[in-house]
Amino acid sequence: MERFAVSERKLTAEEFLQIPEDGKRHELVDGVHYVTPSPSLPHQVLVGRLYLSLGAFLERRPEAGQIFLGPLDVVLSDRDVVEPDLLFVAAEQSGILTVKNVQGPPALAIEVLSPSTRKWDQRVKRQLFDRRGVGEYWLVDPVERRVTVLRRASDGSFPEVAALDAIPGRLLETPLVPGWSLDVADLFRS
């Protein structure tokens, strides 16, 4: 099932955040409300492995920041509200955390690609995260068994810095969480 626009009328973030939960992923991009079906089991396995690995590491180093599991609204502007599969908010960003949502770009957003979200995550969200100042973006591809990493450069650009295949010994790491790593082969194990 594909992502689809719900209404022709553009919404504000305030209007969008009044929509009741229904188990589907609701996102607002440029004021347009989109809905995607809930994720598949293989998708959730990958999300769970990343969350457990980063979460266990951050439990021992809470001064680094916090990892959050979607669904959790990330309000990037008055017309953009998204729900990454996972997001990391660095300690120095704690001011963007509210009781209801995240008010600003996280240090790291992670999406596991699904048939219904692949192009959306690779194009629309990539451009949105670039425009709105997300520090790092991981695209986890279960078909290709690859993690693509985009990272904000000192000049403000948002280039792809790594494409990590599931080869034993190939480590997924980030300067946002020094000392943490995950063998990409372990992430994609059967």
pLDDT tens-digit series, residues 45-67: 999 999 999 999 999 999 999 99
Answer whether residue 61 is part of any domain: yes
Q: What is the CATH number of the domain that holds 108?
A: 3.90.1570.10
Task: Please state the domain count of the chain.
Answer: 1
75 within a domain of the structure (yes/no):
yes
**Is it the case that residue 1 has pLDDT exceeding 50?**
no
pTM listed for this prediction: 0.94
Residue 5 lies in a domain: no
pLDDT-based confidence at 38, cuts 50/70/90?
confident
Could you read off the pLDDT of 64-75 as tens digits, one per residue?
A: 999 999 989 999
- Residue 2, in any domain of the structure: no
Report the percentage of the chain scoring pLDDT > 70: 97
- Confirm whether 124 is domain-assigned: yes
Residue 98 neighbours by CB distance under 10 Å: 11
Range of the domain at 61: 39-187
